[in-house]
Amino acid sequence: MEKDYIALAIPVFFILIGVELVVARLQRKKLYRLNDSINDLSTGSIQQMFGVFFKAASLAGYIWIFQNYSLFKIGESSIWAWVTCFILVDFVYYWFHRLSHEINFLWAAHVVHHQSEEYNLTVALRQSAFQQVFSVPFYWPLALLGFPPVMFVTQKAFQTLYQFWIHTRAIGSMGPLEHILMTPSHHRVHHGRNPIYIDRNHGGTFIIWDKMFGTFQKEEEEVHFGITKPLASWNPIWANFHYWVELWQAASKTRSRRDKLLMFLKPPGWFPKDLGGFQAPPPTGDDPKKWDIPVPRGLNRYALIQYALVMLLSSAYLFSVKDFPMAHKILGFVMMTWSMVNIGALFEGRGWAFYLELARLIALPVCALFYVPLGAPSWLAPALAVNLVFALPLFNLRSFFLGATERSPQPV
Which range is most confident: 91-105, 315-329, 350-364, 375-389? 91-105
pLDDT of residue 289: 87
Give counts: helices (H), strands (E), the chain. Answer: 19, 0
Mean pLDDT score, 349-376: 93
Q: How far apart are CA 114 and CA 167, in angstroms?
A: 11
Residue 358 has pLDDT above 90, yes or no: yes
230-240 pLDDT per residue, tens: 999 999 999 99
Mean pLDDT score, 74-85: 93
Residue 409 has pLDDT above 80, yes or no: no
Q: How far apart are CA 30 and CA 167, in angstroms?
A: 15
Residue 188 has pLDDT above 90, yes or no: yes
Q: How far apart are CA 52 and CA 388, in angstroms?
A: 29
Distances (CA, A) of 47 to 22, 114, 261, 286, 364: 28, 15, 27, 34, 21
Q: How far apart are CA 241 and CA 10, in angstroms?
A: 25
Confidence label for 283 from pLDDT (cuts 50, 70 and 90): confident
Q: Tell me the whole-structure pTM to 2 decimals.
A: 0.93
Amino acid at position 323, single letter = D
Range in 123-132, 144-153, 328-337, 384-393 with the lowest mean pLDDT? 384-393
Task: Judge residue 9's burial from the number of C-beta atoms within 10 Å of its C-beta, 0-12 exposed, 13-18 middle, 19 or more buried.
Answer: middle
pLDDT of residue 77: 87
Q: Which residue has the higher pLDDT, 344 or 281?
A: 344
Within 10 A of 409 (CB to CB), how many other CB atoms are there? 16
- Could you tell me what percent of the chain has a pLDDT over 70? 97
Query: Which own/partner pairs from 395-404 qualify as long-range (CB within 8 Å, at least 24 positions apart)?
Result: 396/298, 397/296, 397/298, 397/299, 397/302, 398/354, 400/295, 400/296, 400/299, 400/349, 401/346, 401/349, 401/350, 401/351, 401/353, 401/354, 402/351, 402/354, 404/349, 404/351
Residue 7 has pLDDT above 80, yes or no: no
- Rg of the chain over Cα atoms, rounded to whole angstroms, equals 22
Q: How far apart are CA 174 and CA 23, in angstroms?
A: 17
pLDDT of residue 1: 47
Q: How far apart are CA 230 and CA 242, in angstroms?
A: 11
pLDDT of residue 250: 96
pLDDT of residue 3: 63
- Whether 37 contacts 120, CB under 8 Å: yes
Residue 410 has pLDDT above 60, yes or no: no
Q: How far apart are CA 263 and CA 147, in angstroms?
A: 36
Residue 123 has pLDDT above 80, yes or no: yes
Mean pLDDT score, 7-26: 91
Q: How far apart are CA 97 and CA 200, in angstroms?
A: 10
Query: Which own/partner pairs from 19-27 qualify as long-range (CB within 8 Å, at least 24 positions apart)?
Result: 20/120, 20/121, 20/168, 20/170, 23/170, 24/120, 24/170, 27/170
Range in 69-73, 142-146, 392-396 with the lowest mean pLDDT? 392-396
221-271 pLDDT per residue, tens: 999 999 999 999 999 999 999 999 999 999 999 999 999 999 999 999 999
DSSP type of residue 412 = -
DSSP type of residue 225 = B
Strand partners, 225: 192
DSSP secondary structure string for all residues of 141-206 = HHHHHT--HHHHHHHHHHHHHHTTTTS-SS----GGGGGTB--HHHHHHHTB-STTTTT----SSB
Q: How far apart are CA 251 and CA 108, in angstroms?
A: 14
pLDDT of residue 189: 98
Residues contacting residue 180 through CB under 8 Å, at least 6 positions apart: 206, 207, 208
Confidence label for 393 from pLDDT (cuts 50, 70 and 90): confident
Strand ranges for 216-266 from DSSP E: none
- Whether 148 contacts 89, CB under 8 Å: no
